[in-house]
Amino acid sequence: MDSEEQIPDKLYYTIGEVSSMFNVNASLIRYWEKEFPIIKPKKNKKGNRFFTKSDIENFHIIYHLVKERGMTLKGAKIKLKENKEDTINNFEIIQSLKDIKQKLLEIKDQL
């Protein structure tokens, strides 16, 4: 998911919305939900999943570790379990740097 994309301001997001945010299949979202206990969607009587903004932020971290840094699921689980705060801080720093890079590129194009 690009750092530029903003998450729509809603209380709950469907699995389709989440999968399109990260450009992955809904089955991967369901799999990550089972593998990572930090993802806790609400479910209605039909079993439809509804993810909160907190879940989306956790997906960002998981996506970063697994897809961008190339960690295994086991490695990502261990990293989140042992040192969640540092992992979140590192993720936020990387996102900030990506935003700064994008702004600098935009300024460069204007010159």
CATH number of the structural domain spanning residue 19 = 1.10.1660.10
Q: Is 7 among the domain residues? A: no
Stronger pLDDT, 9 or 24, i.e. the higher one: 24
Pull the structure tokens for residue 111: 């010159």
Region 44-56: mean pLDDT is 90
Which residue range(s) make up the domain with 90?
Answer: 13-110
Q: Is 4 among the domain residues? A: no
Q: Is 88 among the domain residues? A: yes
Distances (CA, A) of 24 to 66, 78, 79, 104, 107: 12, 23, 22, 29, 31
Q: State pLDDT tens for residues 75-110.
A: 888 888 887 777 777 778 888 888 899 899 998 898
Region 48-52: mean pLDDT is 91
Percent of the chain's residues with pLDDT above 70: 93
Q: Is 62 among the domain residues? A: yes
Q: Is 77 among the domain residues? A: yes
Global pTM exceeds 0.85: no
Per the DSSP assignment, residues forming a β-bridge with 51 are 13
Q: Is 22 among the domain residues? A: yes
